[in-house]
Amino acid sequence: MQYALLPRADLPRTLRNVRSCSFRGTPVRVRVDPERCQGHGVCVVTAPALFDFQDDGKAVAAARELEVADLDGARAAEASCPELAIAIEGKLRTA
């Protein structure tokens, strides 16, 4: 079974006000692999609310469950990471 992530306007009316993302108790989070991250900072520029730099210059993700409003930034950061160090974990069912 596959789940699609839809733009907020395309969500059913009952889901438009959902603030956090989860499916069957699995929270949606963004993660940075510290072994892959080289500290380019593209994620910090792309989604500053979700990423920050650690003392060693590598990126770290926000330690919280993502909200629906965070998904676009998380996806953009994941797609733009030159080291493929960012992963969005968990599932969101919107249909």
**pLDDT per position as a tens digit, 46-94:** 999 999 999 999 999 988 889 888 999 999 999 999 999 999 998 765 5
Q: Read off φ and ψ for residue 60, nearest 5 degrees.
A: -135, 140
Count of C-beta atoms within a 10 Å radius of residue 45: 11
Domain range list for the chain = 28-89
Nearest-angstrom CA–CA distance, 33 and 9: 32
Residue 22 has pLDDT above 90, yes or no: no
SS3 84: coil
Which residues, listed in sequence order, are joined to residue 23 by a DSSP beta bridge? 26
Does the pTM surpass 0.85? The reply is: no
CATH class of 28-89: alpha beta
Q: What are phi and psi of 72, to 5 degrees?
A: -60, -45
